[in-house]
Amino acid sequence: MYIKGVGMTKFDYSAKPWWDFAYEATIEALQDAKMTMSDIDAIIFTSISSAASGEHQTHKVSFLSELFKTNVPIIELASVCGGGGVAFWNALKIQEYDNILVLAAERFADNRSEVAVDWILSAAEKGFEQVEGMLFPTQNALVWQAYCEKHGGSIDDLSLIAYKNHQHAALNPKAYFYKKPVELEKIKASPEVSSPLRLMDCSLSVNGGAAIIVSKEKTEVEVIGSGFATDHILTFERENPTHFKATRLAAEKAFKQAGLTPEDIDVAEIHDAFTSVELISYEDLGFAEEGKGGELIRSGRINLGGEMPINPSGGLKAKGHPISVTGLAQIYEITHQLRGDCGERQVPSAKIGLTHNIGGAGGSITVHIFKKN
In the chain, beta strands by DSSP E: 2-8, 42-46, 74-76, 99-106, 192-194, 197-198, 208-215, 221-230, 267-269, 352-359, 364-372
Nearer to ligand COA by Cβ, of 28 and 231: the residue is: 231
Nearest CA-CA partner of 330 in 134, 97, 96, 165: 165
Residues 262, 306, 7, 177, CA torsion sign: positive
- Footprint on residues 65-94 left by ligand COA (CB under 6 A): 81
**Omega before 196 within 30 of 0, i.e. cis:** yes
From 27-35, 112-120, 254-262, 334-342, span contacting ligand COA (CB under 6 A):
112-120
Cα 285-290-295 angle, rounded to 5 deg: 90
Which one of 27, 35, 115, 199 is in contact with ligand COA (CB under 6 A)? 199
C-alpha to C-alpha distance for 131 and 53, rounded to whole angstroms? 23
Provide, rounded to whole angstroms, the least separation between the CB of residue 205 and ligand COA.
5
- Footprint on residues 334-353 left by ligand COA (CB under 6 A): none
* Pattern 131-150, ligand COA, x by CB under 6 A: -----xx-------------
Please name the residues in contact with 278: beta carbons below 8 A apart, sequence gap of 6 or more: 161, 165, 270, 271, 272, 310, 311, 315, 317
From 58-66, 147-155, 194-202, 247-255, span contacting ligand COA (CB under 6 A):
194-202
Nearer to ligand COA by Cβ, of 68 and 178: the residue is: 178
**Per CB under 6 A, 202 contacts ligand COA:** yes
From 193-201, 214-222, 229-237, 340-348, span contacting ligand COA (CB under 6 A):
193-201
DSSP 353: E
Nearer to ligand COA by Cβ, of 9 and 364: the residue is: 364
Nearest CA-CA partner of 81 in 298, 330, 323: 323
**Per CB under 6 A, 260 contacts ligand COA:** no
Nearer to ligand COA by Cβ, of 123 and 211: the residue is: 123
Binding positions for ligand COA, rule: CB under 6 A: 81, 113, 117, 120, 136-137, 193, 199-200, 202-205, 273, 321
